[in-house]
Structure 1
């Protein structure tokens, strides 16, 4: 197992983990906001155990990557992924993105992945666009994201505790099985990153329009989404995204929350494996 950094063209050190045989088919995991590659522990351990090569990076400004001031947008995020995949010379790769990472993965595959990518998975992902606009009347109003920015600027630590304790994992639902460890791990990952990157990242995940990216993707794509996702509502994301993909399949998880990769890892891992092998 190796842990390393790759330097991007604009001098940012991107941290990544690369586990498993170098000759095995690679799976590249793209984490959500404001987390890190550690959010994929349940998937990385499972798939390295299945003989895959598993790779997870920390987005710029997140986790162990450089807490740089600039470039917190999908153009840079996807180019940073390209720097990692080129450095590791990955081919026939499967890219799996959650939430903001689902947008990043789609942008990477559409813009940089030609000839390198076998399949794509978007889980609870933000595309096509989260923000309510004239073209996207079902989106969330700008006030929602302004609220995120205000809460982050006022007391980032408490805000992250509130998100993890409540809507992210559905722990605010009646009869939810609350995991204190999951809450603490979410908070730990969030607080390891930079406030500037996270603040700017809200614009990146809410205002980026991925329509053209989705239309450009021709590899088999699995779109997985919980219908009780309180962070990225399914009707304005997954249900629209799958219509824009040339080769997309939608799988809906009844009652599952945004953080279902953690709360329901066994179910999601089995379904991911079936898609990888299919």
Structure 2
């Protein structure tokens, strides 16, 4: 079931709420520049097990509205807080991949983990996101040849082999975003840091990270593990930036065990 949730005047987020009567609720925050559909292979498994799965497209991405402003961690975290409040969610597991993981960390810090009982960070873009060099390369491409940028993202995303069909599907997910929001998030990942947020995350936290990640180095996952109390780090030795797909059976089993 799809909803549009108003998060501020003139801005609505698209929310996919599947199996609302499920036993436990899992909320997914996608990575840049994708949308909630990246978690298709988690939805398939968790729904069959009776969980409620909610995928949120951030502003500017997927089916959500695409305003010209609001592309910073505070606003994006506030958007998530509004959705959780409107849908009256409680006792949720919050799963964030890459930039979605960074947004989840800001949410936990800024909103004191409101209604989140467990947190899952998947190759999270934290405490820093892109280096200045990487960001500026992506930014130039985003503003001049966004399809090339998205192809470069796709090519560097996975450690394991992907078929052309899967690559084409993944590529199209990224192009569903607006050009301006794609560029704005690149700047956010370059300029905003999350060091001060980490000591404010208190929920039990599972950190999953691909050892071969070329986007966010594995060392950053180790830093998260050191600075987030009550956290555990599970390396994925056959994954790049996408363990949710590259080692999906292992990932889904681990996620299911952690949710309980």
How does the TM-score come out when normalised to structure 1? 0.90
Where does residue 134 of structure 1 map in the other structure?
none
Counterparts of 1:56 and 1:159, CA distance in 2: 25
Matched with 1:153 is 143
Q: Secondary structure at the match of 1:8?
A: strand
SS, match of residue 196 in structure 2: helix
Match of 2:134 among 144, 148, 153: 144
CA positional deviation for 1:113? 4.9
Cross-structure match for 1:7: 6
Per-residue CA deviation, residues 24-83 of structure 1 (Å, 9 max, x unaligned), is 221000000000011111111211111111100111000111111001111111111111
1:169 has 2:152 as partner: no
Is 1:116 the counterpart of 2:106? The answer is no
Moved more, 200-209 or 57-66: 200-209
CA RMSD of aligned residues (A): 1.4
Partner of 2:198: 214
- The one of 174, 181, 185 equivalent to 1:197 is 181
Query: Which structure 1 residue ranges, 5 or more long, are not aligned?
Result: 132-139, 171-175
**In the alignment, is residue 66 of structure 1 matched against residue 85 of structure 2?**
no
Matches within 5 A, 1:1-278: 2-22=1-21, 24-130=23-129, 140=131, 142-164=132-154, 166-170=155-159, 176-235=160-219, 237-277=220-260
1:181 & 1:216 partners in 2: Cα distance?
42
How far 1:207 moved relative to its partner? 2.8
Aligned-residue offset at 1:23: 5.5
Deviation at 1:182, TM superposition (A): 2.3
Counterpart secondary structure, 2:28 = strand
Between the aligned partners of 1:54 and 1:70, the Cα distance in structure 2 is 28
For residues 190 and 97 of structure 2, what CA distance do their matches in structure 1 show? 14
CA contact under 8 A between 2:119 and 2:206: conserved in structure 1? yes
Whether the 8 Å CA contact 1:129–1:209 is kept in 2: the answer is yes
Counterpart of 1:137 in structure 2 is none
Structure 2 unmatched ranges of 5 or more: none
Secondary structure class of the residue paired with 1:121: strand
- Whole-Å Cα distance in 1 between the matches of residues 8 and 162 of structure 2? 42
**Distance in 2 of aligned mates of 1:205 and 1:87:** 28
* Residue 115 of structure 1: how far off its partner (Å): 4.5
CA contact (8 A) 1:126 1:206 kept: no
| 8 Å CA contact retained: 1:103, 1:205 | no
